[in-house]
Amino acid sequence: MCVIIVNSKKSEPLKEELLSLAWLANPHGGGLMYSKNDRLHTVKRMRLPSFIEEYYKAKREADSDVVLHFRIATSGNIDSANCHPFLYDNMAIMHNGILPIKVPKDSPINDTQLFVKNFMQGRLTTDPKILKKIAHLIGVYNKFVIMDNKGVIRIVNRSSGYHIEDDWFSNLNFLV
Protein backbone atom coordinates (compact mmCIF):
# COMPACT_ATOMS: atom_id res chain seq x y z
CA MET A 1 0.00 0.00 0.00
CA CYS A 2 1.30 3.48 -0.85
CA VAL A 3 2.58 5.60 1.99
CA ILE A 4 2.40 9.35 2.57
CA ILE A 5 4.72 11.05 5.03
CA VAL A 6 4.16 14.61 6.20
CA ASN A 7 7.64 15.60 7.33
CA SER A 8 7.16 18.64 9.55
CA LYS A 9 9.18 21.79 8.99
CA LYS A 10 10.12 21.45 12.69
CA SER A 11 11.49 17.91 12.23
CA GLU A 12 14.93 16.77 11.28
CA PRO A 13 15.28 15.37 7.76
CA LEU A 14 14.15 11.76 7.44
CA LYS A 15 16.93 9.19 7.39
CA GLU A 16 17.92 7.72 4.04
CA GLU A 17 17.28 4.23 5.47
CA LEU A 18 13.62 5.12 6.15
CA LEU A 19 13.22 6.56 2.64
CA SER A 20 14.74 3.38 1.16
CA LEU A 21 12.39 1.12 3.15
CA ALA A 22 9.36 3.11 2.02
CA TRP A 23 10.54 2.95 -1.60
CA LEU A 24 11.30 -0.80 -1.51
CA ALA A 25 7.75 -1.49 -0.32
CA ASN A 26 6.31 0.96 -2.89
CA PRO A 27 8.64 0.77 -5.90
CA HIS A 28 6.50 2.43 -8.59
CA GLY A 29 7.72 5.98 -8.12
CA GLY A 30 7.70 8.78 -5.62
CA GLY A 31 6.69 12.38 -5.29
CA LEU A 32 7.09 15.43 -3.10
CA MET A 33 5.19 18.63 -2.47
CA TYR A 34 6.17 21.71 -0.50
CA SER A 35 5.80 25.48 -0.51
CA LYS A 36 8.51 28.06 -1.00
CA ASN A 37 7.83 31.80 -1.28
CA ASP A 38 4.06 31.16 -1.55
CA ARG A 39 4.62 28.89 -4.54
CA LEU A 40 3.70 25.21 -4.55
CA HIS A 41 6.49 22.92 -5.72
CA THR A 42 5.93 19.34 -6.84
CA VAL A 43 8.47 16.71 -7.82
CA LYS A 44 7.97 13.22 -9.28
CA ARG A 45 10.70 10.63 -9.70
CA MET A 46 10.84 7.02 -10.88
CA ARG A 47 14.26 6.23 -9.37
CA LEU A 48 15.19 6.23 -5.70
CA PRO A 49 18.56 8.06 -5.88
CA SER A 50 17.09 11.10 -7.64
CA PHE A 51 14.05 11.03 -5.31
CA ILE A 52 16.30 11.11 -2.23
CA GLU A 53 18.35 13.94 -3.72
CA GLU A 54 15.17 15.96 -4.44
CA TYR A 55 13.82 15.30 -0.94
CA TYR A 56 16.93 16.65 0.80
CA LYS A 57 16.92 19.67 -1.52
CA ALA A 58 13.24 20.30 -0.70
CA LYS A 59 13.90 19.93 3.01
CA ARG A 60 16.60 22.64 2.81
CA GLU A 61 14.53 25.03 0.67
CA ALA A 62 10.94 24.63 1.88
CA ASP A 63 9.07 27.23 3.89
CA SER A 64 6.59 24.50 4.82
CA ASP A 65 6.34 20.85 5.72
CA VAL A 66 7.59 18.51 2.99
CA VAL A 67 5.09 15.83 2.01
CA LEU A 68 6.38 12.61 0.44
CA HIS A 69 4.47 9.89 -1.43
CA PHE A 70 5.75 6.42 -2.27
CA ARG A 71 3.60 4.62 -4.88
CA ILE A 72 2.65 1.03 -5.44
CA ALA A 73 0.43 0.85 -8.51
CA THR A 74 -3.10 -0.47 -8.07
CA SER A 75 -4.51 1.27 -11.16
CA GLY A 76 -3.14 3.31 -14.01
CA ASN A 77 0.19 3.00 -15.75
CA ILE A 78 3.49 2.76 -13.93
CA ASP A 79 4.97 6.08 -15.00
CA SER A 80 5.71 9.53 -13.64
CA ALA A 81 2.31 10.84 -14.80
CA ASN A 82 0.66 8.54 -12.25
CA CYS A 83 3.03 9.40 -9.40
CA HIS A 84 1.59 11.66 -6.75
CA PRO A 85 1.16 14.58 -6.16
CA PHE A 86 -1.39 15.77 -8.69
CA LEU A 87 -1.50 19.50 -9.22
CA TYR A 88 -4.76 21.39 -9.74
CA ASP A 89 -4.46 25.19 -9.90
CA ASN A 90 -2.61 26.24 -6.73
CA MET A 91 -3.18 22.99 -4.81
CA ALA A 92 -1.85 19.46 -4.96
CA ILE A 93 -3.18 16.14 -3.67
CA MET A 94 -1.69 12.82 -2.61
CA HIS A 95 -3.72 9.69 -1.87
CA ASN A 96 -3.13 6.51 0.10
CA GLY A 97 -5.53 3.59 -0.32
CA ILE A 98 -7.80 2.20 -3.01
CA LEU A 99 -10.80 4.39 -3.70
CA PRO A 100 -14.26 2.78 -3.86
CA ILE A 101 -14.81 3.77 -7.49
CA LYS A 102 -14.88 1.87 -10.75
CA VAL A 103 -11.60 2.19 -12.62
CA PRO A 104 -11.56 0.68 -16.12
CA LYS A 105 -9.02 -2.14 -16.28
CA ASP A 106 -7.14 -0.47 -19.14
CA SER A 107 -7.26 3.04 -17.65
CA PRO A 108 -3.97 4.86 -18.20
CA ILE A 109 -4.70 7.06 -15.16
CA ASN A 110 -5.13 5.99 -11.57
CA ASP A 111 -8.06 6.10 -9.18
CA THR A 112 -6.93 9.35 -7.53
CA GLN A 113 -7.00 11.29 -10.79
CA LEU A 114 -10.34 9.75 -11.75
CA PHE A 115 -11.81 10.64 -8.35
CA VAL A 116 -10.69 14.28 -8.55
CA LYS A 117 -12.00 14.53 -12.12
CA ASN A 118 -15.35 12.80 -11.58
CA PHE A 119 -16.25 13.56 -7.96
CA MET A 120 -14.48 16.86 -7.32
CA GLN A 121 -14.97 18.36 -10.81
CA GLY A 122 -11.22 18.69 -11.21
CA ARG A 123 -10.90 21.09 -8.27
CA LEU A 124 -9.32 20.66 -4.87
CA THR A 125 -10.45 22.36 -1.69
CA THR A 126 -9.34 22.88 1.87
CA ASP A 127 -12.90 23.64 3.04
CA PRO A 128 -13.41 21.48 6.18
CA LYS A 129 -17.13 20.90 5.46
CA ILE A 130 -16.44 19.57 1.98
CA LEU A 131 -13.48 17.50 3.18
CA LYS A 132 -15.70 15.91 5.84
CA LYS A 133 -18.13 14.83 3.10
CA ILE A 134 -15.23 13.49 1.05
CA ALA A 135 -13.98 11.52 4.08
CA HIS A 136 -17.40 9.88 4.38
CA LEU A 137 -17.45 9.13 0.64
CA ILE A 138 -13.98 7.54 0.45
CA GLY A 139 -14.09 5.57 3.70
CA VAL A 140 -11.76 5.53 6.68
CA TYR A 141 -8.97 3.49 5.04
CA ASN A 142 -8.34 6.07 2.33
CA LYS A 143 -6.36 9.20 3.12
CA PHE A 144 -5.86 12.40 1.14
CA VAL A 145 -3.25 15.04 1.85
CA ILE A 146 -3.94 18.37 0.15
CA MET A 147 -1.48 21.28 0.18
CA ASP A 148 -1.95 24.79 -1.13
CA ASN A 149 0.65 27.24 -2.41
CA LYS A 150 1.11 28.73 1.07
CA GLY A 151 1.96 25.30 2.52
CA VAL A 152 -1.37 24.86 4.32
CA ILE A 153 -2.08 21.14 4.63
CA ARG A 154 -5.38 19.35 5.12
CA ILE A 155 -5.40 15.61 5.80
CA VAL A 156 -8.59 13.69 5.09
CA ASN A 157 -8.86 10.79 7.57
CA ARG A 158 -5.90 12.03 9.61
CA SER A 159 -6.91 9.81 12.55
CA SER A 160 -6.37 6.70 10.40
CA GLY A 161 -2.67 7.53 10.18
CA TYR A 162 0.13 7.69 12.71
CA HIS A 163 1.82 10.64 14.41
CA ILE A 164 5.46 10.04 15.26
CA GLU A 165 6.83 13.11 17.00
CA ASP A 166 5.96 16.00 14.65
CA ASP A 167 5.57 13.86 11.52
CA TRP A 168 2.48 12.05 10.19
CA PHE A 169 2.48 8.70 8.34
CA SER A 170 -0.54 7.39 6.41
CA ASN A 171 0.51 3.86 7.41
CA LEU A 172 3.52 2.00 8.74
CA ASN A 173 3.22 -1.12 6.55
CA PHE A 174 6.58 -0.42 4.90
CA LEU A 175 8.31 -0.99 8.26
CA VAL A 176 7.08 -4.59 8.60
Query: What are the start-end ranges of the E strands in the chain?
Result: 3-7, 30-36, 39-45, 66-70, 86-88, 91-96, 143-148, 153-156, 162-164, 167-169
What confidence score (pLDDT) does residue 1 get?
82
**Which residues are registered as beta bridge partners of 70?**
3, 30
pTM of the model: 0.96
What is the phi-psi region of residue 18: left when phi exceeds 0, alpha when psi lies from -120 to 50, beta otherwise?
A: alpha
Q: Any alpha helices (H) in 62-119, and if so which ranges?
A: 111-119
**Residue ranges of domains in the chain, CATH in brackets:** 3-175 (3.60.20.10)
Q: Measured in whole angstroms, how far is the alpha carbon of residue 20 from the centre of its chain?
A: 17
Q: In one letter, which amino acid is 117? A: K
What confidence score (pLDDT) does residue 164 get?
97
What confidence score (pLDDT) does residue 114 get?
94
Does 85 sit behind a cis peptide bond, omega within 30 degrees of 0 on the bond before it? yes
Q: Residue 144: what are its φ and ψ, rounded to 5°?
A: -115, 140
Instruction: Pick out the chain residues at pLDDT < 70.
Output: none
Sign (positive or negative) of CA dihedral 12, 13, 19, 22: positive
What confidence score (pLDDT) does residue 116 get?
94
136 burial type by CB count under 10 A (0-12 exposed, 13-18 middle, 19+ buried): exposed
- Give the C-alpha distances (Å, rounded to integers) separating 24 from 3, 30, 102: 11, 11, 28
